[in-house]
Amino acid sequence: MGSKKTNVEYIMEGDRLNTFKSWIFSNRHPCNAQKMAEAGFIFIGSKQEPDLVKCFYCSKELDGWEKDDDPWSEHVSHAPYCKFAARKLSEEDMTLNQFLDIIYECRLKRIEEFFDQKLNTLDTLHALAKKKIGN
């Protein structure tokens, strides 16, 4: 059920909503697919974890949802550091500047993660070379 897209590709609420094809709660419950997508979540669940979701912005994974849970409140409660959740704004309620800020922050985060990976690889190679020279 999980997606092959990277988090940044889920900036659009409609793309997040499309991941909830097999969501466990119907639209008549507060914890419905639309509200989950609005609160920044993508569905990554499976048969073993039918309610596992992940925030496209902060990557926080949550499960154990109940039909009356409020996705925004749960998101803020479990990920108080998430700038997307802190806004508590649906895509429809955002200004263009707020939306562009989210895109910018997501892109910046992705670049930082890329360079962190490269630095870790270089650190590993350096340690291996140092060990080999030392022998």
Domain coordinates in residue numbering, the chain: 7-134
Q: What span, in angstroms and rounded, lies between the C-alpha atoms of 133 and 130?
A: 5
Q: Does the predicted TM-score (pTM) go above 0.85?
A: no
- In angstroms, the CA 69 to CA 104 distance is 30
- pLDDT, one tens digit for every residue, the chain (135 residues): 444 455 778 989 999 999 999 999 999 999 999 999 999 999 999 999 999 999 999 999 999 999 999 999 999 999 999 999 999 998 899 999 998 998 888 888 888 888 989 999 999 999 898 888 876
Q: Which superfamily does CATH assign the domain made up of 7-134 to?
A: Inhibitor Of Apoptosis Protein (2mihbC-IAP-1); Chain A (1.10.1170.10)
Fill in the amino acid letter for 77.
S
